[in-house]
Structure 1
Amino acid sequence: MRKILPFCLFLFSFYFLKSQETFPVNGSHDKRPKKYAFINAHIITKAGQSLKNATLLVNDRLIESVGAGQEVPAGYITIDLQGKFIYPSLIDPFTTYGVPENKESRAFGRAAQVLTSTKNGPYAWNEAIRPETRAIDVFAQDEKKAEQLKKIGFGAVHTIVKDGIARGSSALIALNTNKDNELVIIPDAAAQYSFDKGSAKTSYPSSLMGSIALLRQTYYDAKWYQQQKKEYNISLEAFNKWQSLPQFFEVNDVLDVLRADKIAKEFGKSYIIKTGGNDYQRIQEVKATGASLIVPLNFPKTYDVADPYEANKLSLAQLKHWELAPGNPAALEKASIPFALTASDLDNVRDFWPNLRKAIKYGLSEDAALRALTETPARLLGAGDRLGTLEKGKLASFIITSDSLFKEGNIIYENWIEGEKFIANHSSNKDLRGEYASNVDDFGAIKLLIGGKQGKYEAYISKPNDTTKIKANLVVDGDLLSLSFNPKGVKKSYRISAYIATVKPLQLKGEINREDGGTIPWSASYTGAYTEKTETKRADKPLELGKVIYPFAAYGHEQPLAAADVLLKNATVWTNEKEGILEGADVLIAGGKIKAVGKNLNASGATLIDATGKHITAGIIDEHSHIAISRGINEGTQSVTAEVRIGDIINSEDVNIYRQLAGGVTSSHILHGSANAIGGQSQLIKLRWGKSPEELKFEGSDGFIKFALGENVKQSNWGDIARVRFPQTRMGVEQVYVDAFTRAKEYKAKIAMKGSNARRDLELDALVEILDNKRFITCHSYVQSEINMLMHLADSLGFKVNTFTHILEGYKLADRMAARSIAGATFADWWAYKMEVQEAIPYNAYLMEKQGVVTAINSDDAEMARRLNQEAAKVIKYGGLTEEEAWKLVTLNPAKMLHIDNKVGSLKAGKDADVVIWSGNPLSIYARAEKTFVDGVKYWDVEEDEKIRDFQQKEKARLIAKSLEEKDKGNATQKAVEKPTIIYHCETLSGDINEDVNHN
């Protein structure tokens, strides 16, 4: 039985039951406790634990008890939930509910530069650092959005101001509709971070590496701030204050998950990372972080590929992500990675349950799904003692459903939030299914047939003794119902309003609404059960999915490639050693190293490759490259950005890695651009196609940094709007170096002082490494006068230039370079493409080489890197180098420049097995790299490439066919939009920190 208070009294009291102590009441005070007993329910207290025919007692805002066989104490309103289910209300751990949306920042590039914060007050110098922001200070409930979320089962949300890199604190909010003060569960729930500068007007950062450097520097500044009394800083004060809270970090790509984790490890933090939903693409690396994740359910819509031209725009990665994204939660569960789920990235919250059920279809267990929506978000937010499960003493936040929560067709009837009821869908406790006898006005005697599921009925009208059925519209709201139908061949519709008059037997009574506005009485009497004809349901096809490939790009492999012992027989071997070029020789690769070079070699167990007629060389080393990076090659917003690191933004999914392996390249030196005098720290990588960003890095190599001279640095071609940042002249460029190294020397002395509380400065740390010969300079250069300037400046300030790159006027001062042991990396025959290269000549490399300068030919271009062998050959034409000398320009010489010639650059026992088999003389325009080994792993094989192309062409065709099939089923589609690979050059000024996120 359900004991019901008079409806009007209940409605009156509902609004006053949770009044706050500090707020006045307009009217009589009503302090009656809200006591409810929900009996005979199937209660799921937490994932994996359920009670049948159980009772949940609620006293005011809290759960008093939950269990089976309980007596209902006196004074409780009893609600019989026979046949219904109770679950904990859901928690969304990442929303912007109730807070203002931030405005996009303008992109840096051809825009006026803003060097420091425009905010008034003692805040951080950079507007992207805004930890003083509190979501609770700008929160205001949004009843419309709250209703949408409550209808799908959410009772609480974690709300975040998504603006900036250090975003301040967030709040945990209940989705009630009381005063804002009453909704706050935790006012400062967590600290928030991202790589997105948001609405900040400050130009820095303009790149992903700049965002990372700024956040790292802020951590160090905050630590220093705690130990000083020199300045007051609202931002750093707040930054330190929030360190004891859970730390949340938003990213949009799996590689950014790994980047965020690196910062966490550096500063002893444990980030809870909100991901972009493509974590499955690097699942082992994600697992290794140990981080808990918040995972969106915004699976890509089916691509509209009806037009073959449009279909051709899509990459294999886009299509595979569309297919595999719904399996992301299941992949995390399988890997035992803790995660919560969020609806935050959905365009429409109505997609939440269809997408969640799709994730379950793709392998996510129901227990894991429930845990990810209840216990886990509560635990991550430090609210596990109040939310997430149904236990004594916790907040009375739960949902009442018609069936198992994840079952297709389940209805969420009510969502109780802290003891207050929200009706999500009206329901009746009476089961109305059956056959009824009735009479409808001039239509005559009828049978009313009610079938379907309780609470989700389907109704039909038929004549007695007639099997023809007319679909009727039936709406049930509690004990009230409305019925309408329009018979075929009759030019009128019938509308009936009725109520449940009696239960045993079931009888419906009401009125027929006539077209003339009048009404006539109507009734229907239950005559028996209605047995619906069961249709043979077509069995669903087994779920057939493609496999994840590594990297997640064209030419990726389903299984990681491994090293093998290989004996290359009977080739022309270019050793780059004193042995020179050997005819009919062999190379033995074992354990990732070159085991032996010589004739008539044998090795048991090694794979034999007949290289007769082929040429074997060491792998090409590109001293100046800009491939394999994410979201910005330049941090050109300041004159000195030595704190930024290319190593932070390595993009292992860049197809140019594979393409350059096909050109015989095995190592690339990835440089910062040339937009400022002192750019960022570079990163030497090996082209280990399929490996993670950290695994691409050349182990044990020295650190380098990019300097630059000339037009780019003084912003000659940036337009009149770029007249803010110093320097604007070549004289100013010199002064930047003088100032930077003077500051670095002072900084070095200060940090060496005993008891010094010197502020850790990442920019100056890198310059001190240069002074200490622990980091080495590669300098972008063209004009003789500037090259002279930097050499003399280095002499006077006590640092050394390792390499001048570009250096198309190197022939003018090669003797002075040689005297200082400065190397030169240049182009073979590029000239006249801007004013400062007017005096470039194609004999430059030859003349530097003959003056004793260690000389290399580099690419500075993703396309040129695929044919560096041909670029080296040009120096034979322009100057007359021997073939061996020319070949060293792209192998041994760049290895010497980069201080790795003890490991690579020549074929010698003990060196890394970075080896290329060429179809002919490697300096010939007709030669092709047939096989390229890095550390003994065959990452490129011209024959395997044909197989990969064939397989992936079929894979793409399969995915297109699957897309067409999904479209035919009526699924929502999206336009096929090409996502081209971004090619960076020295001069690229990128302003969109999020421009090339891989999973899109």
Structure 2
Amino acid sequence: MFFKKLLVLGLVTCSFTMYAQDYFPANAGVKSKNENYTVFTNATIHSTPTETIKKGTLVVQNGRVVSVGKSSKYPANAVVVDLGGKHIYPSFVDIYTNFGIAKPKRAGGSGRASQYDNSREGGYWNDHILSEQNGYDDFEYDKKKATEYINAGFGVVATLQHDGIARGTGALIALNNDGNTANRVMEERLAQYFSFDKSVTSRQAYPSSKMGATALLRQVQHDLDWYEKGNVDTKDMSLEALTRNKTLPQFFEGDGLYDDLRIDKLGDQFGIDYVIVAGGDEYKRIGEVQAMNRKMILPLKFPDAYDMEEPYAAEYVALSDMKHWNQAPTNPKALQDAGVTFALTTFKHKSPKDFKKHLMKAITYGLSKERALEALTTIPAQMVGKSGEIGVLKNRAWANFMITSGEVFEKDTKLFEHWIQGNKNVVKDMTTVNIDGNYAINLNGVTYNLEVKNSTEKAKATLKKGGEEVKSEFAYKQDWATVIFKEAEGKFIRLVARADANGLNGKAILADGTEKNFTSRKTALEASEAKDDKKGGDKPLDVMPLTYPNMAFGYETRPKQQDILIKNSTVWTNEAEGILENADVLIKDGKISAVGKNLSARGAMVVDGTGKHVTSGIIDEHSHIAAFAINESGHNSTAEVRMSDVVNPDDSDIYRNLAGGVTAIQLLHGSANPIGGQSAVMKLKWGAPIDEMVIKDKKFIKFALGENVKQANWNSYSRFPQTRMGVEQVFVDYFTRGKEYEAKKKSGQPYRVDEEMETIVDILNMERLISCHSYVQSEINMTMKVAEQFGFNVNTFTHILEGYKVADKMAEHGVGGSTFSDWWAYKYEVNDAIPYNAAIMHRAGVTVAINSDDGEMSRRLNQEAAKIYKYGGIEEEDAWKMVTLNPAKLLHMDDRAGSLKPGKDGDVVIWSDHPLSIKARAEKTIIEGKVFFDIEKDKELRATVQKEKAQLTAMMLAEKNKGLKTQPARKKEKQRMHCDTEQTIY
């Protein structure tokens, strides 16, 4: 291996003018222009991820590739580098970084006042829409950080300001440390970026939740359409930028699987081809990710093992977190096998130097090397419209390439040089001779054994005499090795030797000052010695099986619909037949097929119901389980937000509710504002996709009255309303505006689509029904009067602990009551609550349900119904209907649920005892003919949870014993959400 250097004495002659093309304009003034050719010969050239040229030649001039092939023409005066079989790869491309862009400063100010209006002139009404932002304007080249990227194999990065919901554009930067701005900046306006996170530069309150951010992005698209049609007199720089950037690639950063699905729905609604910045847990529901048919940018930051040495702390680590540690490295392979197109990124790593370790782990877990190379070269180039320019070594592509000792994804491969736009960066001297091995050195009849390791990195050496280690100092630089060691007290020997691939040859300067020549031949290290202290080895750990959902009590296969015949049980029909003794229930094709005696069905699963009670599933009219957020508190009306945007299908409370016989819920928005968000009526199908859980034709919305909406309990004095009479004014104002909006919509005139007003119109037309959080009789009366004033009815008053005071008026209005059995005195406005409330409303002719508003109470609703029987003295069946048929009526789903009537959904619970008894346990909970909870299966799952935790704990302890980094074992506190729960996004 050698370098052959030819001195260039003049300009290239006319016979080579075909190579002499200018790619950059000359600057004013006197300038010497270097148009030399650099030629790399005898190389294994990976021109693309699928094309390899052995003993190839790469010709580079003016920062570009001139030719690449088996043989290429080049001028006689070119600089020729013989690579002696080394490999050349295109530089990696990372299209999602913040390289050279400082984090913005957080907005100042604090206290009880919130900002509700925007703070910018000429921009969109919401400060978090920063589409006019251009990352290049804040860009400053960081040579030190660029070197980190270069040493990790990256030659080009896209950079943007990671701030805001609409984040504006980013720039494409070549990491040319020897260049200048003119040639480093490949694109000033590369792509347009989005996220669900607010800008830190503004304190504007809306949105305060992910569902608010989603609704805001929908409204932005409507406003953009209205603006582009010329319906706005004044210029809006944010909407102008969105229009200008429409033709650019569109990137949307998520924070995990359910953000991916949320982004996909937004893109589908408005026909936007978002490239999704993934979260790393897509493997959990890879079929749903595959069905999105979207390109992705994939971070490779895998979690560290938990420190499980302290058993009490280890017990707190959730199985879901332990499984994610174990399974996360399989995510790239899962996406690969599903045919998802993805690029890889260093995003989420503190430094690019950490990237290779995680990439090698992904390869160990099944990501193919070819796919990895594509994900770092051609695919990111294609995503930003730069195919053929970067990520490949083809004629006229930028001369961005790495010279490596071997295949780039082999563990011991070294990166020697990294050329970017034709400029060389030396990472490691590729002329350094590898002298790893054992050397026997004879001096004055004494044999010393020198063992050298890791010589091309940070060389280490051990010197022994007669098998005993001798304290010594060793250095190796520019092919010269030096060893200094003590021969006797105050007497030192110095060895200086020139290294070659076969041995060390040099001089020994003895303690008496005399010099002696020595030679030594290299012998290979023992195999055990040659191992470089490998932490963890190259073998993947055993990967735990995926479950649905992928956590404790998840199922290895999703429940399948089956025909089920329950024999000889006490059947609570909730119909005119009442309670039937020794009766049968047949579920066929997911529906109640028959209820009666002596039923039979060929092929059905037969369940012996002797001594058991069979009922329809419990329905919770007021629930806050299974959600990532509950309140959007940024405005006094958030009718545009949707709980269906933030459904969490992995909430363990779903399983617990099933164990309590609950089959359906209304997932309600919270009570932070008078007009809240749209509900999601759901079947609790544990492990199913969100779309299979949400019942799409049930349209409800949460309204609220009282202390929460006037902010009595969190000392905020900045948002209207501050009083109960202000709440009434909010309703009147919005319904008036809704009437005006509908009139304009019907007039045939152009109108701006307003998602909030669309919902208000639905309410006015009773196409979306109100479930209203309420306590005090005066406000209950007020709300009914406002509704009657605008020609519609309130559907349900929920909580309504003073309903007994106005039960007659409720019955006259036609509104239902969904209440607690015996909650009171937890705040001032419930001081008048009594345990007879439900019974009094029931006797007045009000449809009454008992709800939970609580993830714990919801799995004991059968006992809450029993309290009404106890306190109110009403019939058992009527008490039972308050958690089954009556909530079904309030949710307008009694045509399909709430009773055991042929033709209704097969939502059935088998109880061990009388369902109103504290002894009763749900033994099977069935939804549409699928068994989603089985008490015997539950016992198996409990054992499985313990077994899997033990297996994963052993794996993590082994990882720590290998010296790998761990994270502290910590308890993940489950947040119990209620009406007043708030989350804030940043």
What is the TM-score of this pair, normalised by structure 2?
Answer: 0.93
Structure 2 residue aligned with 1:672, among 669, 673, 697? 669
Deviation at 1:828, TM superposition (A): 1.1
Give the distance between the partners of 2:651 and 2:885, measured in 1 at CA: 26
Partner of 2:579: 581
Q: What is the letter of the counterpart of residue 481 of structure 1?
A: W
Deviation at 1:658, TM superposition (A): 0.4
Q: Label 1:507 to 1:579 Cα distance change in 2 as closer, same or farther (>3 A).
A: closer
Deviation at 1:427, TM superposition (A): 2.0
Q: Label 1:485 to 1:738 Cα distance change in 2 as closer, same or farther (>3 A).
A: farther
Q: Deviations over 1:730-763 (max 9, x none)?
A: 1111110111011111111112222x33111111
Partner of 2:981: 988
Aligned-partner SS, 1:836: helix
Conservation of the 8 A alpha-carbon contact between 2:502 and 2:522: no
Q: What is the letter of the counterpart of residue 569 of structure 2?
A: A
Q: Label 1:870 to 1:452 Cα distance change in 2 as closer, same or farther (>3 A).
A: closer
Conservation of the 8 A alpha-carbon contact between 2:23 and 2:62: no
Deviation at 1:990, TM superposition (A): 2.2
Deviation at 1:446, TM superposition (A): 5.9
Q: What is the letter of the counterpart of residue 192 of structure 2?
A: A
Partner of 2:813: 820
Deviation at 1:44, TM superposition (A): 1.1
Give the distance between the partners of 1:510 and 1:36, measured in 2 at CA: 39
Q: Label 1:523 to 1:672 Cα distance change in 2 as closer, same or farther (>3 A).
A: farther
Conservation of the 8 A alpha-carbon contact between 2:436 and 2:525: no
**% identity of equivalent residues:** 46
Partner of 1:742: 736
Give the distance between the partners of 1:65 and 1:204, measured in 2 at CA: 55
Q: What is the letter of the counterpart of residue 4 of structure 2?
A: K
Give the distance between the partners of 1:742 and 1:236, measured in 2 at CA: 28
Deviation at 1:347, TM superposition (A): 2.8
Matched, 1:693 2:686: no
Q: What is the letter of the counterpart of residue 581 of structure 1?
A: I
Give the distance between the partners of 2:849 and 2:553, measured in 1 at CA: 30
Partner of 2:640: 643
Deviation at 1:515, TM superposition (A): 11
Give the distance between the partners of 1:406 and 1:364, measured in 2 at CA: 11
Q: Deviations over 1:280-338 (max 9, x none)?
A: 11111111111111111111111111001110120000100111111111111111111
Partner of 1:137: 137
Q: Label 1:476 to 1:86 Cα distance change in 2 as closer, same or farther (>3 A).
A: farther
Partner of 1:787: 780
Q: What is the letter of the counterpart of residue 644 of structure 1?
A: V
Deviation at 1:712, TM superposition (A): 0.9
Aligned-partner SS, 2:395: coil
Please show how residues 432-831 of structure 1 align to structure 2 within 5 Å.
479-484=478-483, 486=485, 525=519, 528=521, 530-535=523-528, 543-630=541-628, 632-699=629-696, 701-719=697-715, 722-754=716-748, 756-831=749-824
Conservation of the 8 A alpha-carbon contact between 2:701 and 2:770: yes
Deviation at 1:170, TM superposition (A): 1.0
Q: What is the letter of the counterpart of residue 116 of structure 2?
A: L
Q: Label 1:760 to 1:461 Cα distance change in 2 as closer, same or farther (>3 A).
A: same
Give the distance between the partners of 1:559 and 1:129, measured in 2 at CA: 42
Deviation at 1:510, TM superposition (A): 8.3
Structure 1 residue aligned with 2:221, among 210, 219, 222? 219
Give the distance between the partners of 1:31 and 1:692, measured in 2 at CA: 62
Give the distance between the partners of 2:180 and 2:294, measured in 1 at CA: 36
Q: What is the letter of the counterpart of residue 698 of structure 2?
A: D
Give the distance between the partners of 2:9 and 2:480, measured in 1 at CA: 21
Conservation of the 8 A alpha-carbon contact between 1:654 and 1:981: no
Deviation at 1:19, TM superposition (A): 11
Matched, 1:972 2:965: yes
Q: What is the letter of the counterpart of residue 57 of structure 2?
A: T
Partner of 2:17: none
Deviation at 1:58, TM superposition (A): 0.8
Partner of 1:77: 79
Deviation at 1:99, TM superposition (A): 0.4
Question: Gaps spanning 5+ residues in structure 2: where?
Answer: 11-20
Deviation at 1:69, TM superposition (A): 3.3
Aligned-partner SS, 1:86: strand
Deviation at 1:268, TM superposition (A): 0.3
Q: Label 1:431 to 1:619 Cα distance change in 2 as closer, same or farther (>3 A).
A: closer
Partner of 1:997: none
Q: Label 1:757 to 1:444 Cα distance change in 2 as closer, same or farther (>3 A).
A: farther
Measured on the aligned residues, the alpha-carbon RMSD in Å equals: 2.9
Q: What is the letter of the counterpart of residue 905 of structure 2?
A: D
Deviation at 1:3, TM superposition (A): 2.7
Deviation at 1:455, TM superposition (A): 7.3
Aligned-partner SS, 1:189: coil
Deviation at 1:456, TM superposition (A): 8.2
Aligned-partner SS, 2:606: strand
Give the distance between the partners of 2:437 and 2:331, measured in 1 at CA: 43
Conservation of the 8 A alpha-carbon contact between 1:105 and 1:198: no
Partner of 2:207: 205
Deviation at 1:181, TM superposition (A): 3.3
Q: Label 1:305 to 1:616 Cα distance change in 2 as closer, same or farther (>3 A).
A: same
Give the distance between the partners of 1:127 and 1:523, measured in 2 at CA: 77
Please show how residues 366-385 of structure 1 align to structure 2 within 5 Å.
366-385=369-388
Conservation of the 8 A alpha-carbon contact between 1:573 and 1:615: yes
Conservation of the 8 A alpha-carbon contact between 1:427 and 1:455: no
Partner of 1:424: 427
Matched, 1:52 2:54: yes
Q: Label 1:504 to 1:358 Cα distance change in 2 as closer, same or farther (>3 A).
A: closer
Aligned-partner SS, 2:523: coil
Give the distance between the partners of 1:410 and 1:657, measured in 2 at CA: 49
Aligned-partner SS, 2:567: strand
Partner of 1:322: 325
Q: What is the letter of the counterpart of residue 30 of structure 1?
A: S
Partner of 1:156: 156
Aligned-partner SS, 2:872: coil
Conservation of the 8 A alpha-carbon contact between 1:459 and 1:471: no
Matched, 1:253 2:256: yes
Question: Gaps spanning 5+ residues in structure 1: where?
Answer: 10-16, 995-1000
- How many residue pairs end up in the alignment? 967
Q: Label 1:850 to 1:107 Cα distance change in 2 as closer, same or farther (>3 A).
A: farther
Structure 2 residue aligned with 1:838, among 810, 822, 831? 831
What is the TM-score of this pair, normalised by structure 1?
Answer: 0.92
Aligned-partner SS, 2:385: coil
Aligned-partner SS, 2:958: helix
Give the distance between the partners of 2:9 and 2:148, measured in 1 at CA: 26
Give the distance between the partners of 2:290 and 2:255, measured in 1 at CA: 17
Deviation at 1:105, TM superposition (A): 6.8
Q: Deviations over 1:922-963 (max 9, x none)?
A: 011111111100111111111111110111111001111111
Q: Deviations over 1:769-791 (max 9, x none)?
A: 11222111111111111111111
Matched, 1:958 2:955: no
Deviation at 1:532, TM superposition (A): 3.3
Q: Deviations over 1:784-815 (max 9, x none)?
A: 11111111111111232111111111122222
Aligned-partner SS, 2:425: strand
Deviation at 1:523, TM superposition (A): 6.5
Partner of 1:95: 97
Give the distance between the partners of 1:515 and 1:163, measured in 2 at CA: 66
Q: What is the letter of the counterpart of residue 869 of structure 2?
A: I
Give the distance between the partners of 2:795 and 2:41, measured in 1 at CA: 80
Give the distance between the partners of 1:472 and 1:42, measured in 2 at CA: 40
Partner of 2:125: 125
Q: Deviations over 1:639-685 (max 9, x none)?
A: 11101110100000100000000110000000001111100001001
Give the distance between the partners of 1:55 and 1:521, measured in 2 at CA: 47
Q: Label 1:226 to 1:981 Cα distance change in 2 as closer, same or farther (>3 A).
A: same
Give the distance between the partners of 1:323 and 1:4, measured in 2 at CA: 52
Conservation of the 8 A alpha-carbon contact between 2:92 and 2:376: yes
Q: Label 1:446 to 1:635 Cα distance change in 2 as closer, same or farther (>3 A).
A: same
Matched, 1:262 2:265: yes
